[in-house]
Structure 1
Amino acid sequence: MSRAVARLEAHLGYPLFERHAHGVVPTPRAHDLRQRIEASVQALEQAFSDLRKPFRGGRRPLRLSAVATLGTRWLMPRLSQFQKRHPDIDIALRPSRPEETTWLEDVDVWIEIKRPGRPWPRNITARYLLGREITPVCTPAIAQRLKTPAGLLRETLLHHTNLPGNWALWLDPAGVPSDKVKLGGGFDLASNMIVAACSGMGVAVIQPCLVERELSTGELVRPFARTVSTGRGYYLCARKGVAEDGPAGLFMDWVKAMARSGVG
């Protein structure tokens, strides 16, 4: 647990706990982080708990991990289909650990973000799944004001704090000089950025697969049809030699079919 906390603090760049001789006390930033992620974490835990209930005593376990936002917003709404097709497979959730150097020895299949300049280990099979493309999304009210991509310069441009260059990636091919961009609110979780966009705080640039529900209900719309590749995306990973007829192989075939049939 201590090592996990240390990795998280190193990733965030600030301490989450004040350590005293008499114990450990969460910092104000730790309380803020908990408020931001608690609902998503609880949703994941509850979803996997519900999925495991019919499989008690199942003969074939599958240890699965997925990046949090993709897991809650794209994978979980579909996973019941895999459950119905393979009722003998017992799915167990493992947390996503993108900084892990041992490559998830306690996981059979995981979905990870491809990071430029970071090669996959030789013993890992990694295939692109989805999420490479990004596009602006906003409320219908904001979209009515956007006649051309240049109009985005007059709007609040929401962005992921780890990926501030995404707006430039989209705007430059649209003929809008990115050096004129003034980014608005930054979010360290894509799920929070989506909520902000739905509330009308501004325009977000994001993968369409993460806002399928909002696009289908009309909460969010795409003011422009253009999509641009980031060169990253989500990758389906497993150790080499996975049996095609085993739980991991069956899941990989199924989830690739879901990605081909869904919104990219």
Structure 2
Amino acid sequence: MALRSPSLVELHAFVAVARTGSFRKAADRLFVTQAAVSRAVLRLEEQLGVDVLTRSGAGVRLTDAGAQLLRRVEKPLAALEQAAADLQRRPDRLRLRLSVVTSLGNLWLMPRLEDFRARHPEVELEFRQYHHDEDFRREDVDLWIALKPQRGQAWPRQIAARYLVGREIVAVCAPRLGARIRSAADLVRQPLLYHSNYPDNWGLWAQAAGVHLPAGWRGTGFDLVMNLIEAARSGMGVAVVQKCMVEADLAAGRLAMPVAGAASTGRGYFLCSRRSLGAHPAAERFSEWVMAQAAGSEHGDPVEIPRRRGSQR
């Protein structure tokens, strides 16, 4: 039998435009470009041989044929989406695709992942490349752990973001160097190491510590957090760095924090997901776990997460 029905792509585009009254809003809902939605609706109209929408400067509205089509396809489309969601909830289909800032992934998340795997062996994790210019429109990622680069910056409206860790910065150095430092004033007279993307972090730390940086100070900059930390470990100087990145080094005695206290950058790392993600058991389990890990990290101690019924160690 020859297929006469339009494809799901065309039908989803049509329903989204009909429900939002706008090609732009439909594109936001579907996480595609406005041009893609427009082309899909045009293909639908060409295949059916009728106009389903009227376009004008005042907006978009349904034709009589479009209203009839909407009544007949909206519920079946919703049923197909629900069927797919039900299948995805099967334990053997619990897959989570993650994109994580490289530095946080290596220094903070990876050492903790064995705990997640032990608690939720049913979840299959897939890590996808992190993009520094991320626009959160990728179809190959379910959750992001992303850096908020600027204080007060708004996230894209299609994204739900929850703060994890990384606002606090501290001054750290090799223990042998730290043994000579008695005060914040002593500390800022040492060779200063900084992240080259955030040289102002030293100013934030000094202000919080109640001291002034030496006039015209010059330090050594590093474009990678891992290199910055390694330089501090080797005794090159004192680094100002996010506390979450050096937890393991401080606990193991590879680094020391000679002056207590921290400053806030107002930035940090956030757990991000599309608002349209819907029911996603793997994302829900990982989100619960990583938020608890972050709470423990911020307070300096581990947090015990209650086990879900049926999960295994």
Equivalence for 1:98:
132
Aligned pair 1:83/2:117, yes or no? Answer: yes
- Give TM-score, length-normalised by structure 1: 0.74
Which one-letter code corresponds to 1:87 in the other structure? P
Q: Is the 8 A contact 1:135 1:222 kept in 2?
A: yes
Which one-letter code corresponds to 1:258 in the other structure? Q
Query: Are residues 257 and 242 of structure 1, via their aligned partners in 2, closer, same or farther at CA, if it must alter by over 3 Å?
Result: farther
Which of 184, 191, 200 lines up with 1:165 in the alignment? 200
Within 2, Cα distance between the matches of 1:58 and 1:83?
A: 15
Aligned pair 1:72/2:121, yes or no? Answer: no
Query: Are residues 126 and 196 of structure 1, via their aligned partners in 2, closer, same or farther at CA, if it must alter by over 3 Å?
Result: same
1:223-243 CA-to-partner distances (Å, cap 9, x unmatched) read: 111111100000110111445
Provide the secondary structure at the position in 1 that maps to 2:273: strand
Q: Normalized per residue, which structure has more strand?
A: 1
Aligned pair 1:255/2:290, yes or no? Answer: yes
Q: Is the 8 A contact 1:134 1:170 kept in 2?
A: yes
Q: Is the 8 A contact 1:69 1:190 kept in 2?
A: yes
Segments of 5+ residues of structure 2 without an aligned counterpart are 1-90, 300-313
Aligned pair 1:187/2:228, yes or no? Answer: no
Aligned residue runs from structure 1 range 137-216, under 5 A:
137-178=172-213, 180=215, 182-216=217-251
Within 2, Cα distance between the matches of 1:102 and 1:237?
A: 9
Which of 117, 121, 124 lines up with 2:156 in the alignment? 121
1:189-225 CA-to-partner distances (Å, cap 9, x unmatched) read: 0000001100001100111111111111111011111
**Percent identity for Structure 1 against Structure 2:** 48
Within 2, Cα distance between the matches of 1:154 and 1:216?
A: 25
Segments of 5+ residues of structure 1 without an aligned counterpart are 1-56
Q: Is the 8 A contact 2:189 2:214 kept in 1?
A: no
Which one-letter code corresponds to 1:65 in the other structure? S
Query: Are residues 250 and 146 of structure 1, via their aligned partners in 2, closer, same or farther at CA, if it must alter by over 3 Å?
Result: same
- Higher RCO, 1 vs 2 (CA within 8 Å, ≥6 residues apart): 1
Q: Is the 8 A contact 1:159 1:183 kept in 2?
A: no
Within 1, Cα distance between the matches of 2:296 and 2:174?
A: 26
Which one-letter code corresponds to 1:233 in the other structure? G
Q: Is the 8 A contact 2:172 2:257 kept in 1?
A: yes
Within 2, Cα distance between the matches of 1:71 and 1:59?
A: 24
Question: How far apart are 1:245 and its partner, in Å?
Answer: 5.9
Within 2, Cα distance between the matches of 1:184 and 1:115?
A: 22
Provide the secondary structure at the position in 1 that maps to 2:287: helix
Larger deviation: 170-179 or 92-101?
A: 170-179
Question: How far apart are 1:98 and its partner, in Å?
Answer: 2.1
Query: Are residues 239 and 140 of structure 1, via their aligned partners in 2, closer, same or farther at CA, if it must alter by over 3 Å?
Result: same
Query: Are residues 119 and 263 of structure 1, via their aligned partners in 2, closer, same or farther at CA, if it must alter by over 3 Å?
Result: closer
Q: CA RMSD in A?
A: 1.8
Within 2, Cα distance between the matches of 1:100 and 1:204?
A: 28
Within 2, Cα distance between the matches of 1:259 and 1:153?
A: 30
Question: How far apart are 1:185 and its partner, in Å?
Answer: 1.2
From the CA coordinates, give the structure whose radius of gyration is larger. 2
Question: How far apart are 1:65 and its partner, in Å?
Answer: 1.2
Within 1, Cα distance between the matches of 2:95 and 2:280?
A: 13
Within 1, Cα distance between the matches of 2:195 and 2:233?
A: 15
Which one-letter code corresponds to 1:182 in the other structure? W
Which one-letter code corresponds to 1:59 in the other structure? R
Within 2, Cα distance between the matches of 1:197 and 1:69?
A: 16
- Give TM-score, length-normalised by structure 2: 0.63
Which one-letter code corresponds to 2:129 in the other structure? P
Provide the secondary structure at the position in 2 that maps to 1:183: coil
Which of 184, 205, 223 lines up with 2:258 in the alignment? 223
Q: Is the 8 A contact 1:143 1:223 kept in 2?
A: yes
